[in-house]
Chains A and B, each alone.
Chain A
Amino acid sequence: MAHAETKTRRRGGSIDLKVIGPIVALIVLVLIGVALNPNFLSYANITNVLARSAFIGIIAVGMTFVITAGGLDLSVGSMAAFVAGLAILTMNVLTDVWGVGLPVILVGVALALVAGLIAGLINGLLITRVGIEAFIVTLGTMGIYRSLITWLADGGTLSLGFEMRELYRPVYYGGIAGISWPIIAFAVIAILGEVVMRHTAFGRHCAAIGSNEKVARYSSIAVLKVRLATYVLLGLLVGFAVVMYVPRLGSASASTGLLWELEAIAAVIIGGTLLKGGFGRVWGTVVGVLILSLIGNILNLTDFVSPYLNGAIQGAVIILAVVLQRKTGTDR
């Protein structure tokens, strides 16, 4: 098998394997899953895996643009927790005033989107206008949002009122034609992201800036504006992910969204986007997100390895998936 693979690599050249690397990894994982547990392909399990991938997935699509433009955002996990907390608090207050009803949810949803957008704008402005490294800015805001949610929740958990939770619940658990809303939302965002990345000036500008900022500037691309836009877009998508997240358990605490930023970044890189910027692939990110979710799912469906080793398996698969597509790359 190793021989056959080497041959295909040689014949197909570097581009082919770079493209199919993540898909091969995904297919291998699916085959392992099927072999280990007959319930793996059941409707319930597939729905579970896809729906739970939606939060990280939606965020990772935004992250693809940020990374493609040569940036990074470490704050998304904390930001999601903070925005979720803010939305829950607001909805609880409004329930007291307006009673249980749709308007409360609409305001909550709008607030989550606006709060995400503003949070992204703050990151973006600090990075582009004040000129601080993205790593440092978002490391700072990561700590700030994490503390703010802990403070808002008084160290405990912010929970949506019971009746409101029942009303809002279908946004995560409901759907049309048996496909649940988070899956639909993830699919729509992914398709839009792919179109924007490939077929719009914005997508091409992101790649140009990430590849060489100076050249991009001389080509009269509004570098700062495009950069800023990637962070704002990511913030907005974090808000959108929160809209899908809150109805799931109806709560937010200091441990909400923990390590989401790293999962999102890992998904983007597994998908073939370059960490240093210049090249981005939204569909690859989607595959990356699915790979990460499937590893966890498969490990839960079997006693194959000690739970103590879950992290090691995940780490190994992440590295393998990237090795698979970089090994033959001659462009670096």
Chain B
Amino acid sequence: MTKLFIATTALATVLTGAAAAETIGVSIPAATHGWAGALNYHAERTIARLEEAHPDLDFVLATTPDSATQVSDLEDMMATRGIDALVVLPFESEPLTGPIKRIADSGTWVTVVDRGLAQEGIQNLYVAGDNASFGSTAGEYFAENLDEGAKVVVMRGIPSTVDNERVAGFEGAIEGSGIEVVAMDHGNWNRDTAFTLMQDWLSRFPEIDAVWAADDDMAVGALAAIEQAGRIDEMFVVGGAGMKEMVARIAEGDETVPVNVTYPPAMISTAIEMTVLGLTSGAPMTGDFIISSELITQENAEDFYFEDSPY
């Protein structure tokens, strides 16, 4: 893939005689889980579209399994490809702040996606999902649809700032509604862990009225456990991030899975498109662009269903 890009650059340079062919580096985490898989899918799709639309633009896409590799990737992009703009979803905030700051200081346009850097004011453009609203959108649905005294269980993700912000949003939204959170634990965004956790909660609590699984992979695991216990009619399950199987169930009017909350992996497309727009059109693109989480209901489910996406 990289070789191909180098060839394209060389060819472009020859043809245009070192004209203003801009190179854009895109660095994102490797497709190690569903959401990141969809991120990769949307990144590749957008790059393919933009390369066709702008023949003078070159893209370097690097996917990375960890922070250290991402730092090396960024160094390579600067040293050997001389990128003019960088779109980066930092694997972790802290270790990537320094390297990205050096790139920004050298005058390269930097767009940071989703995970903010540890220091403010480094990037030109920040595109991110809204974790607080991801939690509060789900929380508001709970507050509206459950009676006072209803018992809910909450499955959290991997302990992280993302998870903390989501849970804080959820707790804020159900505050004062009389809903009781009887248990809260980390399902680590993993189906198997969620399945086990839900089995144990079902043994522990004779009454559960709703489950907030905070992620669709966990919702799948929780649903399997509830089905096994034969208690599918007693509660509803709200996941998040809009996995296509879940969206399909919502569209069919499944009562156990009434709604879902988006946290679109396609935000990488937003970031790349905005970066390119800034480079090519000269339209001002600096600042923060926060994509709010939406509630997927039976009425609008169609708009959130992507047949080809792996997620």
Contacts and interface: CB of A to CB of B under 8 A. Distances in A.
B220 A249 contact: yes
A37 interface: yes
Contact of B38 (A52, A156, A310): A156
A222 B205 CA distance: 56
A297 B36 CA distance: 30
Contacts of B189: 255
Interface stretch (B12-20, B25-33, B68-76): B25-33
B33 A48 contact: no
29 contacts: A39-B203, A45-B203, A52-B196, A52-B199, A153-B310, A155-B33, A155-B34, A155-B36, A156-B31, A156-B38, A156-B311, A157-B191, A157-B310, A249-B220, A249-B221, A249-B224, A253-B191, A254-B32, A254-B33, A255-B32, A255-B189, A255-B192, A296-B196, A300-B185, A300-B197, A301-B203, A301-B204, A303-B183, A307-B185
Nearest to A298: B200
A64 interface: no
A156 B221 contact: no
B203 A155 contact: no
B141 interface: no
B33 A44 contact: no
Contact of B37 (A42, A156, A256, A307): A156
A308 interface: yes
Interface of A: 37, 39-40, 42, 44-45, 48, 52, 150, 153-157, 159, 173, 248-249, 251, 253-256, 258, 296-297, 300-301, 303, 307-308, 310
A48 B204 CA distance: 12
Nearest to B198: A300
The 9 closest A-B pairs by CB, nearest first: A155-B31, A155-B37, A156-B310, A300-B200, A156-B37, A45-B203, A154-B310, A307-B185, A48-B199
Given A154-B41, A307-B185, A44 B229 contact: yes
B310 A249 contact: no
Contacts of B196: 48, 52, 296, 300
Contacts of A159: 245
Contacts of B159: 308
Nearest to A303: B183
Contact of B191 (A48, A251, A297, A307): A251
Contacts of B41: 154-155
B32 A150 contact: yes
Nearest to B311: A156
Contacts of A303: 183
Given A155-B31, A155-B41, A251 B220 contact: yes
Contacts of A300: 185, 196-197, 200-201, 204
A102 to B, nearest CB: 22
B133 interface: no
Contact of A154 (B31, B185, B200, B202): B31
Given A150-B30, A154-B31, A156-B37, A249 B229 contact: no
Given A155-B40, A173-B228, A150 B31 contact: yes
Contacts of A157: 34, 191, 217, 310-311
B77 to A, nearest CB: 22
A196 B274 CA distance: 65
B224 A248 contact: yes
A75 B196 CA distance: 23
A168 to B, nearest CB: 13
Nearest to A159: B245
A52 B225 CA distance: 12
Interface in B168-188: 183-186
Given A154-B310, A155-B31, A301-B204, A249 B199 contact: no
Nearest to B37: A155
A284 B220 CA distance: 34
B33 A253 contact: yes
B190 interface: yes
Given A249-B220, A296-B196, A300-B196, A48 B203 contact: yes
B212 interface: no
Interface string B249-287: 000000000000000000000000000000000000000
Contacts of A44: 202-203, 229
Given A251-B220, A255-B190, A155 B200 contact: no
Nearest to B32: A254
Contacts of A296: 196
Nearest to B39: A155
B195 interface: yes
Contacts of B202: 44
Contact of B195 (A155, A249, A254): A249
Interface in B156-174: 156, 159
Contacts of A297: 200
Contacts of A150: 30-32
Contacts of A154: 31, 37, 41, 310
B240 to A, nearest CB: 16
Identify the interface centre among A40, A150, A256, A300: most chain B CB within 10 Å of its CB: A300
Nearest to A46: B203
Given A155-B310, A159-B245, 8 more contacts: A154-B41, A155-B38, A157-B217, A157-B310, A253-B33, A255-B190, A255-B217, A310-B186
Nearest to A302: B204
A176 to B, nearest CB: 17
Nearest to B38: A156
A156 B201 CA distance: 27
A248 B197 CA distance: 14
Contacts of B309: 156
B154 to A, nearest CB: 11
